[in-house]
A and B are shown apart, each in its own frame.
Chain A
Amino acid sequence: MDVWSSLMDGFATALTPMNFLYAVIGVLLGTAVGVLPGLGPAMTVALLLPVTYALEPTSAFIMFAGIYYGGMYGGSTTSILLNTPGESSSVVTAIEGNKMAKAGRAAQALATAAIGSFVAGTIGTALLAVCAPIVVQFAVSLGAPSYFAIMVLALLAVTAVLGSSRLRGFASLALGLAIGLVGIDSVTGQRRLTFGQPLLADGLDIVVVAVAIFAVGEALWVAAHLRRTPLHAIPVGQPWMGKSDWKRSWKPWLRGTAFGFPFGALPAGGAEIPTFLSYVTEKRLSKHPEEFGKGAIEGVAGPEAANNAAAAGTLTPMLALGLPTNATAAVMLAAFTSYGIQPGPQLFSSQGPLVWALIASLFIGNLLLLLINLPLAPMWAKLLQLPRPYLYAGILFFATLGAYSVNLQAFDLVLLLVLGTLGFMMRRFGLPVLPLILGVILGPRIEGQLRKTLQLSAGDPAGLFSEPIAVVVYIIVGLILLWPLLFKLFRRTRPAPKTAVPANSGATVPREVGGSVSHGSHRADGPADGDGDG
């Protein structure tokens, strides 16, 4: 089908008064919750999931679009005004953004972040609209073996590439896969890990798992280490930018977008790597390199654009392949399935109008963000002063409400507490949260593809390699697993200075950059904190 006409149909659906209202509510809710410290976009979506249950799918997803971008934008406000990023993807924004705010240029920092997010989000969404159908065309030709391989790649990539400890990543992944096993096996009807408990037969509700790990785990963790004297938020007036600010911002916006989208679309993409790359690039290209570290506007404009473009990029594999690559997309995928909608190549043909309405409302949400957030910024900044006891008690309150309202069973609250304790423990001992969530969501799907593959090959393991794409993907998987080994060899032949972290051999930056953020700097190299998205 023609992209343009489908998109216009999408706009027609999304712009009906009721749906438009849902988009506005989504943007407002998303931003408000996203601004609150301690609440990343993934948690925002998880907490607000129950609110959308009563709506019909189209309206619900239009609201999600607003919540998604709103939550993202809210995070950058927090990091600029508080200097302690809620999401690992906002770490870089905090470096220059908070310096600008301290130097009395908070208004400009917020403005360049908001407008940059708008520019990047719009371009990113346009790229999504163009790319997703192409990926779909490619994906419909894929069979179970390729799907199996691609899902394995996504899990391994997220586990092995992001985060500071691969071992702890795999531990988290294994726990997630185990949680995903609970319930009746769909093929044979056998009960697995239910311990005779009928309430476990349907498996664990993904909303309960996500809310427990993200919200309850986080609230308990913060409660244990609550700062005695809350950080001081810098007050801010109406965001605006002068002529020179525009001149210095527009190129970083575009370059940031170029970094963000492709990385977001990759299986282990996330927003950390492109935001760091964007920061380094801007520092190198800037005419005012001396301002970096003291509040250079380029250092806010580029990474913020990269962050939002990555957010749009993430939706490409999510919609076209049913493959979530970050926590927020994983929770959204869970939302899709709770409506009985299976994301994947068939989605565009079976639920065409819904998908295009979602994409159209991403455009609308983006514009609304700009229109709403520039004037409302001072009000959002006030949210940062919410007394912490109310904030974290509120998180627990709404987490309970959300988890309970799914099935109206007190048993779900017991699960919430147990898994919340698990989330607490993971934060205490440095186990990343993202692999667990992806394991829970992708585990059953991977198993399904594996069984389909071997069913087609009548049990012959060679069936796993029966498609060329699958073979290529396994080679990439092998490279990722062997990467530390190759890296050591590389280092031995050419001793590099203080190289560290992710997928990119040239990325010497993350640790150095991370080190210059005063609080929560270790998040820079431990990005798999669950909000690791863009």
Chain B
Amino acid sequence: MSSLISGLKGRAELGVALLLGAAGVLVFLDANRLVTPYSQSDPVGPKTVPYIVAGLLLVCAVLLAVNVIRGGQGEAEGGEDVDLTHPADWKTILPLAGAFILNILLIDWAGWVISGTVLFWGSVLALGSRHYIRDGLISVALSLLTFYGFYLGLGIALPAGLLEGIL
């Protein structure tokens, strides 16, 4: 058991192979469920391409698993603000995702101005800014500006939500 765990350590990439495999099975099962009579005008039918895609996914999953077990590794992507020397910082990611999810939950009910403010303010906070009041003001300003900008400039009415009638 312990040898299995140490063997799996640093092989998080096997999860990618697993995901590919799962996707492959999913595509296959979904295509399998389609029922279409053979038709002269469409000899290929809606199932052929999904089968091919499922096959490609499964082959990739197997090859990737083999590659990773043999010590292969994908290169993480660099960039201007990316410092790969420290490991993934979950203390940033999770609050960030939280702000994003909060926005999804709030947007239709509370409206864009409120949910957008929550999104921006929460994200800035998660990313390490500590100017609470300044950030809050910027968030409100951005949300209001985009709300009116989209409404007046583009004719797109973002939801006003709770502030319906005030905005």
Binding site for B on A (CB under 8 A): 37-38, 50-51, 53-54, 78, 82, 84-86, 164-165, 167-168, 170-171, 173-175, 177-178, 181, 185, 187-188, 190, 192-193, 218-228, 230-231, 387-394, 396-397, 400-401, 404-405, 408, 410, 413-414, 417, 425, 427-431, 443, 446-447, 450-451, 454-455, 458-459, 519-523, 526, 529
Contact = CB atoms under 8 A, between A and B. Distances in A.
A170 B36 CA distance: 29
Interface string B100-119: 11011001100010001001
B34 A190 contact: yes
A82 B80 contact: yes
B89 A408 contact: no
Contacts of A523: 77-79
B56 A177 contact: yes
A396 B100 contact: yes
Contact of A389 (B42, B79, B124): B124
A290 B60 CA distance: 46
Given A193-B50, A405-B158, A454-B43, 20 more contacts: A50-B156, A84-B80, A85-B80, A171-B64, A173-B56, A178-B54, A192-B50, A223-B92, A227-B83, A396-B100, A401-B112, A401-B158, A405-B150, A417-B97, A429-B13, A430-B75, A455-B41, A459-B44, A520-B80, A523-B79
A525 to B, nearest CB: 8
A466 to B, nearest CB: 15
B108 A429 contact: no
B123 A396 contact: yes
A168 B64 contact: yes
Interface string B43-56: 11110111001101
- Chain A interface main SS type: helix
B25 to A, nearest CB: 11
Identify which of B61, B78, B80, B90 gathers the most chain A CB atoms within 10 Å of its CB. Answer: B80
Interface in B52-103: 53-54, 56-57, 60-61, 63-64, 67, 72-84, 86, 88-90, 92-93, 96-97, 99-101, 103
B116 A401 contact: yes
Instruction: Rank and list the top 4 A-B pairs by shortest CB-CB distance, nearest first.
Output: A430-B74, A459-B43, A520-B78, A393-B123
Contact of A188 (B46, B99, B119, B158): B46
A37 B80 contact: yes
B23 A450 contact: no
B24 to A, nearest CB: 8
A171 B60 contact: yes
Contacts of B93: 220, 223-224
Given A222-B79, A430-B76, A394 B120 contact: yes
A397 B24 CA distance: 33
19 contacts: A50-B154, A54-B154, A168-B74, A174-B24, A174-B57, A187-B46, A188-B36, A188-B45, A192-B30, A220-B93, A222-B81, A413-B100, A413-B107, A417-B101, A428-B77, A429-B13, A430-B77, A443-B49, A520-B78
Nearest to A181: B50
B153 interface: yes
Contact of B49 (A164, A181, A397): A181
A178 B23 contact: yes
Contacts of A230: 81
Contact of B127 (A54, A78, A223, A446): A223
A226 B127 contact: yes
Contacts of A51: 154
Identify which of B63, B108, B156, B158 gathers the most chain A CB atoms within 10 Å of its CB. Answer: B156
Contacts of A164: 75
Contact of A404 (B34, B40, B107, B138): B107
A232 to B, nearest CB: 12
Nearest to A226: B81
A175 B13 contact: no
B123 A193 contact: no
Given A405-B150, A427-B77, A54 B155 contact: yes
Contacts of A393: 120, 123-124, 127
B13 A225 contact: no
A523 B158 CA distance: 39
B103 A400 contact: yes
A482 B1 CA distance: 41
A447 B103 contact: no
A37 B79 CA distance: 8
A226 B81 CA distance: 6
Given A224-B93, A522-B75, A522-B78, A181 B27 contact: yes
Nearest to B60: A171
A392 B123 contact: yes
B16 interface: yes
A303 B77 CA distance: 22
Given A389-B128, A429-B16, A459-B43, A167 B64 contact: yes
Contacts of B138: 390
B142 interface: yes
A144 B82 CA distance: 44
Contact of A413 (B49, B54, B104): B104
A405 B156 contact: yes
B136 interface: no
Contact of A526 (B30, B45, B77, B155): B77
A429 B76 contact: yes
A417 B97 CA distance: 8
A450 B74 contact: no
Contacts of B63: 167
B16 A401 contact: no
A410 B100 CA distance: 11
B160 interface: no
B27 A178 contact: yes
Nearest to A165: B74
B115 to A, nearest CB: 9
A173 B64 CA distance: 14
B79 A520 contact: yes
Contact of A86 (B61, B67, B80, B129): B80
A247 B111 CA distance: 59
B81 A167 contact: no
B78 A389 contact: no
Contacts of B54: 178
B92 A224 contact: yes
